[in-house]
């Protein structure tokens, strides 16, 4: 049997009753919080929409080009790297358009290029594959 200090012991029923009686005397907030299905106040939504960080959630196709179609990308050499294994794959835009079509999205093409040559295979779907970084 292992020794446990007194602070680890469960309180006795008498101690529980004493703590409960002490809580009864405390003041309860008069304004209840919002219920789970209540509408949120307009101030909350205004603050949320005015926050400058909300635009960071929406991807900008011009920022990295990963959401552009192959026909919209100006560079002729496309490069995608893996943040997991450090591998880099390059392909010419013309070759990528021939293989995947000019309307294919660069993010999907880059992921396929990395997955086709991936060396990190564990057998689990959640852990397999590369983590693309579009340059």
* pLDDT 10s digits, 54-90: 555 554 544 556 788 999 998 899 998 888 778 888 9
84 class by beta-carbon count within 10 Å (0-12 exposed, 13-18 middle, 19+ buried): middle
User: Residue 103: how many CA atoms within 13 Å on its side-chain side?
Assistant: 0
Give the sheet arrangement for strand 77-82, strand by strand: 88-92, 77-82, 132-134
pTM value?
0.48
């Amino acid at each position: 049997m292992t020794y446990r200090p007194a602070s680890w012991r469960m309180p006795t029923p008498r101690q529980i009753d004493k703590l409960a009686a002490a809580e009864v005397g405390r003041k309860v907030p008069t304004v209840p919080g919002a219920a789970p299905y209540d509408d949120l106040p307009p101030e909350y939504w205004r603050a949320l929409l005015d926050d400058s960080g909300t635009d960071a959630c929406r991807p900008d196709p011009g920022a990295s080009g990963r959401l552009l179609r192959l026909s919209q990308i100006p560079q002729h050499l496309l490069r995608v790297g893996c943040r997991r294994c450090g591998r880099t794959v390059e392909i010419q835009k013309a070759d990528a358009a021939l293989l995947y079509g000019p309307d294919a999205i660069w993010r999907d093409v880059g992921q396929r290029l990395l997955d086709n040559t991936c060396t990190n295979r564990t057998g689990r779907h959640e852990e397999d594959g590369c983590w693309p970084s579009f340059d």
